[in-house]
Amino acid sequence: MTETHVSTDTPAPEALAAATAAKAGDIVTCDACPVLCRIRPGKTGACDRYGNTEGKLTRMDPLVITSRAQALVPFLNGKWTGNPITGADTFVTGIGAGTTYPDYKPAPFIVASQIDGVDMVTVVTEGIFSYCGLKVKIDTDRYLGPEQAAVRCKGEAVGHVTTAEYGSQMLSLGGVHHLTGGSKKEGVVTCDTMLALCNKESVELTIDGGSTIIVQAGKPPVVNGVPEERMRVGCGSATIGMFAQQWLAHADEVIVVDDHITGVLTEHQAGRFLDMKPAGIRVRGRKSTPGRYFQVANPGTGWGGTDITDPLSIIEKIDPKTAWPGLKLLMVSTTGEHAAWYVLDQDLKPVPAPMPEPITKIVERIGENCEPALCTVLFMAGAGGSLRAGVTENPVRLTRSVRDALTRVTSGGAAVYVWPGGGITYMVDVTTMPDKSFGYVPTPAIVGPLEFTLRRDDYAALGGHMDHVRPLASIQAHDNVRVEAQRADQPWPVTPAEAAS
């Protein structure tokens, strides 16, 4: 990351300086959100985003622009004038831009640029989101809690458990009902929790009837004090299918313990295709299809996401008509973290035995095929009135333009997913965004960056604020700019729609 601070005698743009009309002496009133803080000289408002600088309302954080690699060393492209803004290689993000509140104001920055001979416009703003939440994917087989259970931070409900996906547990955090529909404390804690997670900080959460977890975007989860290392390779049935051929010459039976679908090799279709002899070992639970069992144990933090610590406890019976002394049995979890080797004695009882080297290698291969456990935090919000009115006098045209793929939506320069259907509801992975991309206002609500990029003629056609369009080079007049390298895994935002498709 490279930081550049460009200082001039030019005052900050009026679009950034929300309004300072309600001024009494040296006190200024900030109307960048409904709280209307009265700010004394040298102080900031409740959100710390705006302050009183020599009697002027000022956005305190730097405006973040992203540049492709060559633009980070502009003097290599010719004589450097001291301006880090270098045309087609620079993108102005909404981070530090300021907001459009109250709704009638045009966006703080409406920037003209040119790429490949096409005139483009990017409308840059920070949205104040009450209607927003987080979708958190936690890679683990451990039991976090029952679906619909409350997720709490500092004792306050901030969300709930949703579905269990393939090797992951999903949480839904935030949302307007937690932010504004409960007690004041609930709203404040919810906002603080969302802000920390959006800014890639760690948060400790507790789940009613379940676990305590530490969540941080891009980091492994910590469940009940234990850091997770890996996702499952698959369910028990899938694990049987993946490694059946490798087990064939070394084990007479393999049981893969899993909270969802426990697999039994010789009963499974994979074992039958390999002409394996039935072993006569019946596990507990509800049989689904041959070799696939549901509900072999309760959910938990033990083997395969169950509550068991002794794998033999899931064996319901061993059929003496089918099983035989010396039968070799492997019991293993879906991550390979738990594994045990047994040999049946003369009474057909499983006796622990040293694990043969070929079996050990296959268990290790299960672990090798498990991906590292991570927490993924997706910010999800609906772009409503003030955002759309800041782009055009007829907001529905922006919605239609996004739906028709004429307008590209980004957040802090990062690609977003726009949901189908009405409105502009989008999701963004916070790890793809620059650090400290998010802020808050004490209403409470989350403040997040948003950019709309489209052809200049399309912008005019949707009724855009053409009299507020400014050249990219004019950003040098701003007195607080931070330049960051555009992530290599993110598409360049300022690209004509048809060129990107």
Cβ atoms of 247 and 241 closer than 8 Å: no
Q: What is the pLDDT of residue 457?
A: 95
Q: What is the pLDDT of residue 74?
A: 46
Q: What is the pLDDT of residue 453?
A: 95
Extract the tokens encoding 198.
């959006």
Q: What is the pLDDT of residue 12?
A: 40
Q: Specify the pTM.
A: 0.85
Q: What is the pLDDT of residue 79?
A: 40
Q: With a cut of 70, list the residues of the chain below it in pLDDT.
A: 1-25, 69-88, 476-479, 496-501
Cβ atoms of 348 and 319 closer than 8 Å: no
Cβ atoms of 124 and 205 closer than 8 Å: no
Q: What is the pLDDT of residue 472?
A: 84
Pairing type for strands 253-257 and 328-333 reads: parallel
Cβ atoms of 448 and 441 closer than 8 Å: no
Q: What is the pLDDT of residue 497?
A: 56
Extract the tokens encoding 138.
């936690």
In tens, the pLDDT along 76-120 reads: 333 434 555 555 688 999 999 888 877 778 999 999 988 878 899
Cβ atoms of 162 and 241 closer than 8 Å: no
Cβ atoms of 327 and 252 closer than 8 Å: yes
Q: What is the pLDDT of residue 22?
A: 40
Q: What is the pLDDT of residue 479?
A: 61
Q: What is the pLDDT of residue 49?
A: 83
Q: CA 134 to CA 139: how far, in whole Å?
A: 16
In tens, the pLDDT along 334-391 reads: 999 999 999 999 999 999 999 999 999 999 999 999 999 999 999 999 988 778 999 9
